[in-house]
A = this chain, B = another copy of it.
């Protein structure tokens, strides 16, 4: 149960719900229902009742602060038919903390010390509002809505207690991240093996330029899960870039790091998104030097040495230009490798011979260039994202065959 009027009224994506579900799913606990409600006491109480009718574990996030519209404690008390009472030791600790900082807050602040009868307070390492856990059944936990507070409390305080009360099987969930294959190709590749899986549920998710395959034990033993995983690895081969939640940029970074190779980029239509994805990985300065955002043709010429005649004849969106951009970035940045992207992301700029979605990615290395020509579906941002992931996949597949620098 996710509490917060702002989530419902303003079209914001609720990130707490998916986050809680992913942490629990990784721990082997599937979530069956998410309710997102406003700040009203009756609305929250009703949501908690609905959730408790359906599931043995109910996690509520939000509405634990000190202001008048923080009503989750009262609502949970209503829903569970258990009184609230002020916890004297929590209150004393809060008072000390405030006085220690020279503050004398209004008395309403101590509402945060109101605890449901029978519930255990949960420590908030990051903020001031404590959480609460009623062991149940149903197990009901109240957690803060501020993401940093929620995350610390769920992982450090609540999850260990849930797992003690509700033990789950290991290897309950496997994840395979796949690049360079369409969703339908992944499905056909694994479907012969799937026929032999017993008690394993699979889900295939596609996001632009990336497919994720999840296997979940639904009665399957640990050994059966491991056999299914081996079958998936055989069917998909090197299209699998990770068996964790790792991004393709992180997977490529790991390969570059191991091979002690350095990388530069040259981007036209992606305008810096490729560099941004690469540098979102902590430690990327070990393998990434930088690059050029060559959005205008003048920059492609002057910064990357793409000949004016090539831009005129083949056009800025061509395999030749992509290769020259990559070579120029590699030479001018002095790196082992360079990736380049040029294309038409739309919504304007398409022609009959080069429609929106026409993209070329190129990789320059000491062994020469390789270029991929792509025709990508989706809107502007999807085309840009697919282009970046295709470039990283080209590099990844090349690295899987390149000997390391030390060995070369």
Contact = CB atoms under 8 A, between A and B. Distances in A.
Given A272-B275, A334-B298, A203 B37 contact: no
Interface residues of A, number: 77
Contacts of A294: 290
Nearest to A34: B36
A303 interface: yes
A384 B275 CA distance: 13
A32 B8 contact: yes
Copies of the polypeptide in the assembly: 2
A352 interface: no
Contact of A380 (B11, B34, B280, B296): B280
A31 interface: yes
Interface string A294-321: 1110110011000000000000000000
Interface string A1-34: 0000111111111110111011101100011111
A279 B288 contact: no
A8 to B, nearest CB: 5
A36 B10 contact: no
Contacts of A30: 8-9
A37 B270 CA distance: 36
Given A271-B278, A298-B289, A22 B10 contact: yes
A274 B293 CA distance: 10
Nearest to A214: B10
Given A21-B8, A334-B298, A37 B46 contact: no
B295 A299 contact: no
A347 interface: yes
A193 interface: no
Contact of A36 (B17, B37, B348): B17
Contacts of A203: 5-6, 9-10
Interface in A313-333: 332-333
A274 B298 CA distance: 20
B303 A332 contact: yes
A50 interface: yes
A276 interface: yes
Among all A-B residue pairs, the 8 with the closest Cβ atoms:
A11-B22, A271-B279, A272-B275, A272-B272, A34-B36, A273-B276, A290-B299, A290-B295
10 contacts: A5-B203, A6-B214, A9-B203, A9-B214, A13-B13, A32-B38, A265-B272, A267-B272, A275-B293, A302-B332
Given A267-B272, A271-B288, 17 more contacts: A8-B32, A10-B21, A13-B14, A36-B36, A267-B275, A272-B273, A273-B273, A273-B279, A279-B293, A279-B295, A280-B381, A289-B295, A289-B299, A290-B303, A292-B292, A293-B293, A303-B332
